[in-house]
Amino acid sequence: MALPVDPEIRAALGNPTTAEPGPPVGDVETRRRNLTTGMAAAATAWKPAAGVDRTDLTIPTPDGYALPAQWYRPVDAEKLTGAVLFLHGGAMILPLLPIYDAVARMYVQATGVSVLLIDYRVAPEHPDPTPVEDCYTALHWLSEHAGELGVDPNRIAVMGDSAGGGLSAGVALMARDRNGPAIAELLLIYPMLDDRTYHRDPQLPAEYITFGYDDNRTGWGALLGVELAGERVSSYAAPARATDLSGLPRTYIEVGNLDILRDEDIAYASRLLSFGVPTELHVIPGLPHGYDILAPDALATRRAVENRLHRLRSL
């Protein structure tokens, strides 16, 4: 029997009765068009928050690339703030989309922390390790420039959704193994953590799977190429592969129980706890992947977002 769907999610998705067939595995361009169109439609429900300054900038990478970034800060900030490196979603294949401007502004207005949003390079044009190395470079830059940005370097969090959640977990492993920069808090929102997730769960209602198994396999395939599901995949690319999770920062994980990534996220939280990492896990009934983008005003979404805001306010 299929798991029940939150009524507000049903309404937001138009009460579908059958699953729409998607593009074949490996079709990156069609997925890019579909996801970009879908996110643009979802963005109409988001209203940019007031009281937030934005500065566009670039961050130099070790290979000579100028990494595009956006820096958001409360307009009335008079003292050092905490800061969040936010890594956007997009199945490892989508660049930064305009909706994340509104997302970043919301976090800044609601918490008083500053946000660094980056447009990391994506696969398949830039396969592993480029995306996660871009993200780690951004963390280093944020830490090194904390003083001039008005940020307390001891209050820097890393946060991301979907692909960005997986990259956030990878960055945390890198920071541990490379002796910094320090991360005060790690927030993983329905993160992509395991390139081996492609066995279908019959309990998930197919018509409400908003990020499907073929989408997941396409994203991981674009990132990893022939190494997909093989023995040589780096834990920085697929953090579920890590054998040692000790020494990681306090971690918050959130996922809907209708998400194909649910079980890998639960497993990662369980392993973090087994290694002594303070971990908070929320598995939210009735919600699929991307619920906060698709239905920002739903009660379940608002409760979930409030949990995130609580963690950010504690920075």
Helices (H) and strands (E) in the chain, counts: 10, 8
Our CA angle for 91, 212, 127, nearest 5°, is 25
Give burial (CB, 10 Å; 0-12/13-18/19+) of 175: buried
208: Cβ contacts below 8 Å, ≥ 6 apart: 5, 9, 10, 13, 16, 258, 288
Q: Which residues are catalytic?
A: 162, 259, 289
C-alpha distances out from residue 132 to 30, 84, 126, 308, Å: 24, 16, 11, 23
C-alpha distances out from residue 69 to 36, 179, 208, Å: 19, 24, 33
CA distance linking residue 297 with residue 80, whole number of Å: 31
CA distance linking residue 220 with residue 26, whole number of Å: 10
Q: Phi first, then psi: give them for residue 110, nearest 5 degrees.
A: -80, -20
Q: How many CB atoms lie within 10 A of CB 90?
A: 24
SS3 content of the chain, % helix, strand, coil (to 5): 40, 20, 45
Instruction: Compute, in degrees rounded to 10, the torsion defined by CA atoms 187, 40, 200, 123.
Output: -70
Closest CA relative to residue 251, chosen from 303, 311, 182, 167: 311
